[in-house]
Amino acid sequence: MTLTATQVRDLLARHDVRPSRALGQNFLIDPNTARRIVRLAVVEPGTRVVEVGPGAGSLTVALLDAGAQVRAIELDRRLEPVLREVAGDRDVEVVVADARTVDWKAELDGGGWVMVANLPYNVATPVVVRALEEAAMIERFCVMVQREVGERLAAGVGDAAYGAVSVKVAYYADAAVVGTVSPNVFWPKPMVESALVQLTRRVEAPVAVRDPDRLFALVRAGFATRRKTLRNTLGGFVDAATFTRAGVDPGARAETLTLADWARLSDA
């Protein structure tokens, strides 16, 4: 079973649902893209999938066709009956909740979950970062996000997109952009390209740091003004002796520091 563009529009019309700009809704209307995401996510029979923002169910159907057990987290209550119609009696549970505040431990039992989602552009970063921080049961991610956001999530030192969120993601997971997606596969059509990002949770952090919260606060401060040197951006946090102990040049800029550099600076 697949949902074509015509079927998605007809389905939503029957339920009197129009895409909400406020909720950042751009519904996936291309079955080939849905199948591509499922393939990249390595979804097999029995895979436990949490889908955030399922919308009209195009990706949900593809996940179910692959044999996944799906827990769908959807903020828009209007879409609950739409999802139940497309899923029929198959293995899906629809939870009406906000993925930015949902209690992951209450919704996802055990481990081995995979997040597969077409994330609304306006909430993609907080949803992914919070899941990395609080939902250890989600071991892998394959998410579709705005291309700029995807590049930022997966960026490393030397990449133009490298920033504070890149450092935080690197602490929790290996991340990579594995594909781009045309605006033409959505309704309504967004003005930007999308990217497919894979994240694999690390068994343990790649650096030892005494206080991760302090680490991330330092990183945020360092990237707050990208053109300034660390001496200027971190003047209220780090003195000259601390830079020396950490082996970090105070004349450098935040985008030149690796996760290991930030960890040394935080501990120093």
Q: Is residue 193 within 8 Å of residue 180, measured between CB atoms?
A: yes
As a whole number, mean pLDDT of residues 3-9 equals: 94
Give the pLDDT score at 221.
Answer: 96
pLDDT above 90: residue 19? yes
As a whole number, mean pLDDT of residues 186-195 equals: 96
| From-to residues of CATH 1.10.8.100 in the chain | 212-267
Tokens of 108: 């996802």
User: How confident is residue 10, by pLDDT bands cut at 50, 70 and 90?
Assistant: very high
The CA distances from residue 230 to 100, 108, 162, in Å, are: 31, 41, 16
Give the pLDDT score at 227.
Answer: 85
% of the chain surpassing 90 pLDDT: 96
Q: State pLDDT tens for residues 160-182.
A: 999 999 999 999 999 999 999 99
Tell which residue, 216, 221, 214, 225, has the closest CA to residue 268: 214
Across the chain, mean pLDDT equals 96
pTM of the model: 0.95
User: How confident is residue 2, by pLDDT bands cut at 50, 70 and 90?
Assistant: confident
Q: State pLDDT tens for residues 50-92.
A: 999 999 999 999 999 999 999 999 999 999 999 999 999 999 9
| From-to residues of CATH 3.40.50.150 in the chain | 5-201
Strand order in the sheet with 92-96: 92-96, 69-74, 48-52, 113-118, 138-146, 194-201, 173-181
Give the pLDDT score at 209.
Answer: 97
Indicate the CATH number of 212-267 among 3.90.1150.10, 1.10.8.100, 1.10.3720.10, 3.30.710.10.
1.10.8.100
DSSP 5-62: HHHHHHHHHHTT----TTTT--EE--HHHHHHHHHHTT--TT-EEEEE--TTSHHHHH
pLDDT above 70: residue 1? no
- The values of phi and psi at residue 7, to 5°, are -65, -40
The CATH number given to 5-201 is 3.40.50.150
Q: State pLDDT tens for residues 216-240.
A: 999 999 999 888 999 999 998 899 9
